[in-house]
Structure 1
Amino acid sequence: MSFLTIFAPVITEFSPLENNSRNRLQSPSLTHYMGTDEFGRDIFARVLYGARNSIQVGISVVFLTIIFGGIVGIIAGYYSKLDNVIMRILDGLMAFPGIIIAISLAAIWGGGKYNIIIALSFSYFPKMARIVRSSILSIKDLEYIESAKAIGASNSRIIFRHILKNSISPIMVQASFNFARAILDEAALSFLGVGIMPPNPSLGGMISDARSFLSVAPWIITFPGIFIVIIVLSFNLIGDGLRDLLDPHLQNNY
């Protein structure tokens, strides 16, 4: 799937933005593998470029979530005096579903890829922060951490050299799930009209636009939906695999 999106300009000769009224609502054929939409645009090209936009959003959201969630989680887990204050703030944010927060922020800031990335990152980082905090709490009182403190190691060295290095496993697992969730939520936001703005291709936006033509041209909605299912399922399976591989408690059960 990633290969198709990366090499989309090579795989298809059609532009995802080019209108052609003569070819509107054509069924799948050897020329247009997935047919055309109401404006005569090639659906295969739009699906590839729309998936590329979704993957870019997912990667950016995961990157920002790890950075901000990691920083907040490190501060809360390592510095006990700040833990209670930070966690109460995170609890307040997590009281609302992430998609509701993202929709609200997107409605305030407006649509567009970069606003969606920031909105989704803000809605995801509290859970990442809690995971990082939990991992640090389970590590920071171990003997080798106490030994590092005894020989005069600085807090930054202890955090980045010892604690964070041994917290990578839960962070990577959560990041893979966040990637799949970001793609699904980006599609939902675009479906609601507050995501990636037309005419730029978006899988959720394509599904939203196709509702009016469902009875006469079902392929318009079918192929974007299939791509969303494949992408989300793939990264959920990757997350499950990483969890099974990196979690020693699960390994001991086999």
Structure 2
Amino acid sequence: MTDQSQAPSVAPPRETTSALSRIREIVTSSPIVMLATVLIILIVLSALFAPWVVPHDPVRLTPAERLKPPSEVYWLGTDAFGRDLFSRIVTGGRISLVVGVGAAIAAVLAGLVLGLLAGYIRWLDAVLMRMVDGMMAIPNILLAIAIVSLWGASLWTVLVAITIPEVPRVVRLVRSVVLSAREEPYVEAAIAAGSSTWLIMRRHLLPNTIAPLIIQGTYICASAILTEAILSFLGAGINPETPSWGNIMAEGRIYFQINPGIVLWPGLVVSVAILSINLLGDAVRDALDPRMAQRGIDR
């Protein structure tokens, strides 16, 4: 005899095709996305293996070689202190990627927890969302500069300063998804069966947030890389002695007319990295979206 106390499982069936297979299909079917993926892999690998990739010491001062044009010895030329520009750009990618990925992970995790609570627990909604609205009224860059000014410039300070302004946007995104999902029949069935709040959020609400959070996380990663560059360019970011894309551009802006490459090359790398991350995020979002997967099956 069937136990009537157990609510029937009415959650939507899962697609038999794995998410990884759909991601691979979307990436390989689009030349632009494939190029973006290759560029991201190259940037990440070059940053990880920077000590073995760079031809020169990125922090060694060589005044006699200052502001040299590109050559066989210095592929992108040198800066105002005689340091190899290519070596500094490759090494600076380590800091920029750490800030971008770290800020994205931290903001998504914090926003996910707060968004789930705000969307499902009604009495917390009013309190949390008023705090979120207040934080969103402050421009990201101004809040980041204020945090760095209070705590001092360091990698961790910049990481926190970039993460905090991004959390409210994730909270609002997750809350909107949860408010829509909690009205679904399978969630109502779980509530009627007496499932705990934690179980409902973990099993029924959390999976609905994965696809939106993937694309939001890529936007945050790209935005964090750009914000770090802006903070360093303004002198409110990483220690100027530490190579980062923003610091390289900040140091080179004075000599732009003499050697424009000091600013243009790191700026080009920042642009390529941000564009590639966004394109890859769109592809992953499409692969994880059940509606996009269904369209692929219909075709």
**How does the TM-score come out when normalised to structure 1?**
0.94
Q: Deviations over 1:166-215 (max 9, x none)?
A: 21010111001110000000000000111111210111111111111112
Structure 2 residue 99 is the aligned partner of structure 1 residue 51 = no
The answer to whether structure 1 residue 104 and structure 2 residue 146 are counterparts is yes
Which structure 2 residues correspond to residues 148-159 of structure 1 after superposition, within 5 A? 148-159=190-201
How far the C-alpha of 1:10 sits from its partner, in A, is 1.5
Deviations 1:80-109, CA, capped at 9 Å, x for gaps = 111112111111111122122111111221
Report the Cα distance in structure 1 between the residues aligned to 2:53 and 2:244, rounded to whole angstroms: 18
Shift of 1:239: 2.7
CA distance in 1, matches of 2:124, 2:231: 35
Separation in structure 2 between the aligned mates of residue 134 and residue 18 of structure 1, nearest angstrom? 51
In 2, distance between residues paired with 1:248 and 1:158?
Answer: 21
Is residue 235 from structure 1 mapped to residue 295 from structure 2 by the alignment? no
Root-mean-square deviation over aligned CA pairs: 1.7
Q: Which stretch of structure 1 is more off in the superposition, 146-155 or 70-79?
A: 146-155
Partner Cα distance (2:71, 2:242) in 1: 24
Paired residue for 2:56?
A: 14
Matched, 1:177 2:219: yes
Return the alpha-carbon distance in structure 2 between the equivalents of residues 98 and 241 of structure 1: 27
SS of the residue corresponding to residue 152 of structure 1 reads coil
Written as runs of structure 1 = structure 2, the 5 A alignment for 1:85-96 is 85-96=127-138
Q: CA deviation at 1:65?
A: 0.3
Correspondent of 2:120 among 78, 100, 116:
78
- After TM superposition, give the deviation of residue 218 of structure 1 in Å: 1.6
Instruction: Give the AA of the match of 1:27.
Output: P
8 A Cα contact 2:233 2:250, kept in partner: yes
Deviations 1:204-250 (A, max 9, x none): 11111111111212221121111111111111212332344444566
Match of 1:209 in 2: 251
Tell me, in whole angstroms, the C-alpha distance in 2 between the residues paired with 1:244 and 1:204. Answer: 32
Tell whether the 8 Å contact from 2:232 to 2:240 is kept in structure 1 after alignment: no
- State the identity %: 38
Q: Find the counterpart in structure 2 of residue 36 from structure 1.
A: 78
SS in 2 for 1:68: helix
More RCO (CA 8 Å, sep 6+): 2
Query: Could you say which residue in structure 2 is the equivalent of 1:124?
Result: 166
Give the Cα–Cα distance (whole angstroms) in 1 for the partners of residues 240 and 142 of structure 2.
22
CA distance in 2, matches of 1:52, 1:22: 28
Per the TM alignment, residue 155 of structure 1 is displaced from its structure 2 partner at its CA by 1.1
Counterpart AA for 1:164: L
Residue 138 of structure 1 corresponds to 180
Bigger CA drift: 157-166 or 115-124?
Answer: 157-166
Q: Do residues 64 (structure 1) and 110 (structure 2) align?
A: no
1:104-145 superposed Cα distances (whole Å, 9 cap, x missing partner): 111221211110100111010000010011111111121111
State the Cα distance separating 1:150 from its structure 2 match. Answer: 2.6
What is the TM-score when the length of structure 2 is the normalising length?
0.81
